[in-house]
């Protein structure tokens, strides 16, 4: 059974900035060098039982590309059926086409 799925797509700078302004940002910062090593920009899920989608934006340089990306992650099974204990989905194409 397929539980959690991540989908990536390119977005423009305006969409990146709109999502970033409404997100929680975790980062690694070096005070001596006054440098941010990385940022994780995410809207967070409540707990493991949460059936919401996680939305994260990032600069595509992390993947060796240019521009910005949107990452959507979640359990399609939890969204559709309210749980992920049984009677799930086994076809990745079915899941990704419905997201």
Span 46-67, pLDDT tens digits: 555 555 677 888 889 888 899 9
At 45, the pLDDT band (50, 70, 90 cuts) reads: very low
Distance of CA 13 to the CA centre of its chain: 17
**What's residue 66's pLDDT?**
93
Query: Helical H runs in the chain?
Result: 13-21, 76-81, 92-98
The two tokens of residue 81 are 């059926």
The two tokens of residue 8 are 């990536």
**What's residue 40's pLDDT?**
72
Average pLDDT, the chain: 78
Beta bridge mates, 38: 28
């Amino acid at each position: 059974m397929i539980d959690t799925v991540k989908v990536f797509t390119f977005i423009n700078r305006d969409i990146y900035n709109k999502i970033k302004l409404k997100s929680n940002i975790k980062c690694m910062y070096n005070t001596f060098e006054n440098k941010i090593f990385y940022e994780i920009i995410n809207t967070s899920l409540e707990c493991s039982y949460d059936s919401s989608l996680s939305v994260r934006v990032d600069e595509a340089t992390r993947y060796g590309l240019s521009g910005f990306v949107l990452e959507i992650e979640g359990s399609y099974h939890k969204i559709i059926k309210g749980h992920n204990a049984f009677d799930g989905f086994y076809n990745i194409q079915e899941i990704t086409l419905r997201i």
